[in-house]
Amino acid sequence: MEMLYSSTRSRQQVKASEAILKGLSEDGGLFVPDHIPALDKSLKELAGMTYQQVAYEVMKLYLTDFTEQELKSCIERAYDSKFDEASIVPLVEAGGVCYMELFHGPTIAFKDMALSILPHLMIASARKKHVEKEIVILTATSGDTGKAALAGFADVEGTRIVVFYPKNGVSPIQEKQMVTQKGKNTMVVGIHGNFDDAQTGVKKLFSDRKLEAEMAGKGFQFSSANSINIGRLVPQICYYVYTYGRLLGEGKLAEGELLNVVVPTGNFGNILAAFYAKHMGVPIGKLICASNENKVLYDFFRTGTYDRNREFVLTSSPSMDILVSSNLERLIYRIAGEDAARNQELMVALSGQGCYTITDGMREALSDFYGNYADEQETASQIRQLYGDCGYVMDTHTAVASAVYRKYVAETKDQTKTVIASTASPFKFTRSVMHAIDGKYDAMDDFALVDELARLANVKVPKAIEEIRTAPVLHENVCEVEEMEAVVRQFLGL
Ligand SMILES: *Cc1c(COP(=O)(O)O)cnc(C)c1O
């Protein structure tokens, strides 16, 4: 059955390849599949498959204008030895819960799960649509997307990539990873502003018709590697299906048994993928949405009002320092009965007044979700405690999820089996992680901390970290938010 993608703000429909190339719809809406397909293999069958095989079984249902060979070739190239675990997504038991480690890719954060395949999907889509223009990837990052997208697109023929990150809003390791990026087609720029400023600036460039026309004249077209791209959402569904299958295969779940998932959330992409997996037929129970002190989503789930009018807090989990969770729009559209006009009204209110309120009927449709948050202290003590109890060291984002899970259990007494999405390697946030374990580490430099962490956790320093230890800085651009357009123009020679 052919899958078409509708915009959340109009009735415009396109095929998967077009949605991937465009990123965002022209009306400013996000592309959503016109239905959520049911898995056509049983979970028992899926339980016996490799990650790559499961990925194919999931993605073929969404990317219906790709041939089997195209899709399999994209999957083979993405999930290969760039990952330091053959299983791609290892499951680790610690403190009575299962951690689904999504950080074994080339940049050691979960963004690799989607961004190692997106360039391949995009090139395949461009071929299919006979696109002759060079594709310019424009990305705003809260730290992890930027590096993962750079790694994915560096030196990919027919593409260029520009990444904007908040100059003072990412971890030292995250920044070093980005500014040492090689590749003639890459550009990395720090902005004086926060992630939302960067994201708003990028969205503005995307919807600038004059710029688009000028670029077309010079043989360029924009696309987005941000999590609004459906080519990122779809690959993220795969690991929920895979994880359920693995637990079933290992006898840790009985057939049909529910599994709760806890997801440290920022832009709402990862947890939305879990929601899709659930509606494809995976027996997922609660979708537990964990926020840090930027707790817009927690307030939303509690009150039905989404309100971004508040102070932006810089936390030790910077990839979740977000006040506008872009992917939530896809869920709003769905609970608004796929009514684009109604969704548009709410989104206009969000960009105008900075807030909107959903109806009681829409709130009822959110019963799959539970939201809570963890403050900085709760996050740090979670890291210290789990390390003390069993020697497992998790990163700050995962710790937010872990702390929220404890709150959920205390509040609901729900004993359903649970998996926590572990979204980054602790080595990516070494300073915060080591500080959480013991204040005595504060005086050590970043790479001494890396070595100490390897010793404490009894794991090898990941290759991604070894590589940046001595790598030269290749990108030193910093600009104001208002200068983002000029920077892009200069890079493209417009
Ligand atoms: C991006 C990111 C998140 C948030 O994921 P969303 O899909 O934006 O909700 C959480 N943790 C880490 C480490 C990330 O990089």
pLDDT at position 122 is 94
Question: Does residue 330 have its Cβ closer than 6 Å to ligand 1?
Answer: no
What number does the ligand 1 atom closest to the CA of 398 have? 11
Instruction: Look at phi and psi of residue 391 and say left if phi exceeds 0, alpha if psi is from -120 to 50, else beta.
Output: left
Q: Give all strands of the β-sheet with 134-140 in edge-to-edge order.
A: 220-224, 134-140, 159-166, 186-192, 477-480
Structure tokens at 275: 């929601």
Q: Which residues neighbour 442 within 8 Å (Cβ) at sequence distance 6 or greater? A: 435
Per-block mean pLDDT, blocks of 10 residues, the chain (494 long): 94 93 89 97 97 98 97 96 96 96 96 95 93 92 89 91 93 91 96 91 90 95 89 98 98 97 97 98 98 98 97 93 94 97 97 96 96 98 97 98 98 98 96 96 94 96 92 95 96 93
pLDDT at position 147 is 93
pLDDT at position 143 is 79
pLDDT at position 77 is 94
pLDDT at position 285 is 98
pLDDT at position 461 is 95
> What's the 263 CA to ligand 1 centre distance in angstroms?
9
> What's the 109 CA to ligand 1 centre distance in angstroms?
8
pLDDT at position 87 is 97
- Between the alpha carbon of residue 331 and those of residues 11, 15, 168, 300, the distances in Å are 17, 20, 31, 13
pTM, to two decimals: 0.94
> What's the 272 CA to ligand 1 centre distance in angstroms?
12
Question: Does residue 110 have its Cβ closer than 6 Å to ligand 1?
Answer: yes
pLDDT at position 24 is 85
pLDDT at position 478 is 96
Question: Does residue 23 have its Cβ closer than 6 Å to ligand 1?
Answer: no
